[in-house]
Chain A
Amino acid sequence: MVSKPDISVKFCGYEIENPFLLSSAPPTCTGEMIQRAFKAGWGGAVTKTIKPDKTPVYDLKNRFGRMGIEDKQLVLFENIEEVSKRPVGTWVKEIKEIKKAFPDKLLVGSLMAEPKEDDWEDLARVISEAGVDMLELNFGCPHGMPERGMGAFCGQRPELIDSLTKAAKRGSSVPVMVKLTPNVTDIAYMAKTAEQAGADATSAINTVLGLIGVNIDTFEPMPSVDGKSTFGGMSGPGVKPIGMRCVAQIAQATNIPVSGIGGISTWKDAVEYLLIGAANVQVCTAVMWRGYRIVGDLVDGLTNYLSDKGFKSVNEIIGKTLPRLTSWSKLDKDWKVVANIDKDKCIKCGVCYIGCYDGGYQAIKFEPNTGKAAEVDEEKCDACSLCYLSCPVPGCITWKRVQQK
């Protein structure tokens, strides 16, 4: 009997039953919602961002958008929603209730205030004393809040990351995590700044600033608020590569743990994030789309993966791929391969041919309607991988090692 792999993870002195946390977003809007999520099996949750009562926030109608491709509804999700409208007192009460009902879950209070050190220090004190296990400083929200000196406004200014992290640390009685925005030139630098300011962890990414679309019938930018719009935060499957890049850069640059966020919908996405160094992962958009219940498959899929791969603990995979990420100049220029098409698997669709012909090296021979499989001209093939990627048949195109002459 093989024992089940251990998927619990350590994070800033806590042990979490699984690496799946809800990120600070609509699914963690109230204590009732967080408790339901915990019941469903989430390892932890970051509250929707709490702000001082004196700071006004608004929720626009509407405030979401989506981008699909072909028949897939969701590639990117956009929001221009602001932080929690609820009073600090309500949150303090609900934090106590959540911790009472679920003492072993990781409850993180997300904070945002104007760039005044006292405000951050006071808010950190009140929320940490309410009983959360950690704080997360929202230096990342890219829409609405930055226009008033909050969110990404702070995350884009190293001096504010430094001073406000220090302020929160002064007020907090629990570990402090800094949530970073990808809308900067060098996110690793921002992470190092947070680390030097005393942050216990970082989390990345917050949403990517973008414009989800324009309604070509009405000419309205989306999401339309009475015909007008503003740039918003992108999340969902499409931002995953950006999130992974940021998390890997942060993991390479800092010695504090990083919580991975950005486009995680399935356990496979989570495994990728863990492999490139995330200490745990946070999920929002996938839950907004399908509910808390997705944690069932996240947990089960991760467990089965670890078991199939022979790992005893999820900790064995955290950061496993990170050493393989290097600079372009350190990659082996002498590594030579060519594409090879399996004649028996080829369905003669010509997709590889037309791609290589118009977007590659004219290295594939294909005669339509002759029943003959496509064939690689090894002299011409430059192993760019376009054919390999566009072929609809799994395992039809493979790589053949070429010995150096």
Chain B
Amino acid sequence: MSGRTHPPILPPQVRIKTFEPYAENLDDRMALYEASRCITCYEPPCKEACPTHIDIPEFIHRIKSGNYYGAAKVIRQSNIFGGECAYVCPVERLCEEKCVRNSLKDEPVAISLLQRFAFEKERKKGIIKFEKAPPKKKKVAVVGAGPAGLSAAYELARKGYKVTVFDSNPKAGGLMLYGILPWKASWEVAESEIKNILEYGIEFVPSKKVSDLKALLNEYGAVFIGAGTSKSAKLGIEGEDLKGVYPAQDFLYDVARHLQKKGKAPDLKGKRVAIIGGGDTAIDASMASLRLGAERVYIIYRRSLAEMPAVPYGRKQAKEEGVEFLLLSSPVRIHGKNGAVTAIECVKMALGEPDQSGRRAVTPIKGSEFKMDIDAVIVAVGQKPDQEALKSFGLKLKNGLIETDNKFATSIKGVFAGGDVVNGGETVVKATAEGKLAAESIDQFLKGGSK
């Protein structure tokens, strides 16, 4: 069997001129070829690796047979954000990493491309609707209209509950609309799936910040919190408050709002930008900076490429576009003049032995400090929930996240939570899966409870 399909991608110099998607999808012929590469394993590791456990061999088999709508149905049955996930999932560390083809010294089946293919066929025809249970009297409130909240809302609405979703943003979607930029997934993808979810009879209350859980519990039988991680972790170094230093979450939000013509992105035209961090967010921020016209973009990361959490696909794209990687380097100070960034000072790092998590520890090399002139810094060293909001909920927290049991129940009876606000910031697919599982717990709770 020959290698995997590689649909055309726009050259870097062309694609960085816009924020638009630059990778083509599979056409019917390529999809058939790619689908034919699937061994159709029995209960395979790819399915296990997917947090929503999409029956991957089944949907690929249906593409192979030409039953595209049936393929989309298999995906949607497991994952109500199957389209969005097909575009944004870090498949290199999920399903595709586990593809059995890897054991045959071959490239994995392009599961994400096939999933996009099935989704686009579905979108053209109309997103598949599933049956809904007869209406129940009980009501559920969902705080946060990101993937976790909407996934929970959808599952509960299908079970017949009356669901109201609150979000502080004007549109439902969370990071799918306010954090993920269009070259990764056109916003129309998420919007079509969100519209589909809301059509299950869910009420959406926009631009509403919820703080009083007690009041909500008076009206609703249960509350699900999927508030996400809208804030960035801090570096904790001198100069972080200078003008021109942007937390990555805020930066990506501002770029999204700018593109939506509802806000303003930082002016990076002709500027030298340093992004601190090695995750997918750092990659996103670097590619966004280029698209805003930055002249030089650096990713400064403490470890080496081998330890970098960002998926190889993203790293490759960024590198092709001209992002420069400064590895084994850690910022120690941000220099400024008149309150604005002028330079960043880093120290070289040495890799040590793997720690408990398996990641290799790093230690600064004395006397290896170096300084680079820079006009802007984007800090992408982690994300966290809005701590103000969390405090107002009055829930028991753990490391700045909402603490839950294995059934997604929080310290307040009737209040459940899932997604990034609990797991600390993972993926759309994980949040979707947690919303789905939490909905099961909420259903169990409400069946046993009174309201």
Contacts and interface: CB of A to CB of B under 8 A. Distances in A.
A369 B43 contact: yes
Interface string B37-51: 001111111001000
B108 to A, nearest CB: 12
Nearest to B37: A71
A256 to B, nearest CB: 43
A349 B64 contact: no
Given A70-B64, A368-B48, A369-B48, A351 B36 contact: no
B36 A368 contact: no
B104 interface: yes
B41 A350 contact: yes
A392 B32 contact: no
Given A70-B32, A70-B36, A70-B64, A351 B45 contact: no
Interface size class of B (residues with CB under 8 A): 10 to 19
Contacts of B41: 348-351
Interface size class of A (residues with CB under 8 A): 10 to 19
B100 interface: yes
Contacts of A349: 39, 41-42, 44, 100
A379 B88 CA distance: 48
A350 B43 contact: yes
Secondary structure call for the A interface: loop
B103 interface: yes
Contacts of B32: 70-71
Nearest to B102: A347
B42 A354 contact: yes
A369 B43 CA distance: 8
B33 interface: yes
Contact of B42 (A353, A392, A393): A353
Contacts of B36: 70-71
Secondary structure call for the B interface: helix
Interface in B274-295: none
Contacts of A120: none
A366 interface: yes
A92 B413 CA distance: 98
B45 A392 contact: no
Interface in B70-103: 100, 103
Given A368-B48, A369-B45, A393 B40 contact: no
A194 B32 CA distance: 47
A170 to B, nearest CB: 55
A351 B32 CA distance: 20
Nearest to B42: A350
A354 B40 CA distance: 10
A216 to B, nearest CB: 10
Interface in A365-402: 366, 368-369, 392-393
A368 B56 CA distance: 14
Interface string A327-355: 00000000000000000000111110110
A234 to B, nearest CB: 22
A71 B33 contact: yes
A369 B48 CA distance: 7
Interface string A47-71: 0000000000000000000000011
B86 to A, nearest CB: 21
A350 B103 contact: no
B110 to A, nearest CB: 14
Contacts of B104: 347, 392-393
A105 to B, nearest CB: 37
16 contacts: A70-B35, A70-B36, A71-B33, A347-B104, A349-B39, A349-B100, A350-B42, A350-B43, A350-B44, A351-B40, A368-B43, A368-B44, A368-B48, A369-B44, A392-B39, A392-B104
Interface of A: 70-71, 347-351, 353-354, 366, 368-369, 392-393
- Complex A-B, nearest 8 residue pairs according to Cβ-Cβ distance, in ascending order: A350-B42, A368-B43, A349-B41, A347-B103, A70-B36, A354-B42, A71-B36, A71-B33
Given A350-B42, A369-B43, A369-B44, 10 more contacts: A70-B35, A71-B33, A348-B41, A348-B45, A350-B43, A351-B39, A354-B42, A368-B42, A368-B45, A369-B48
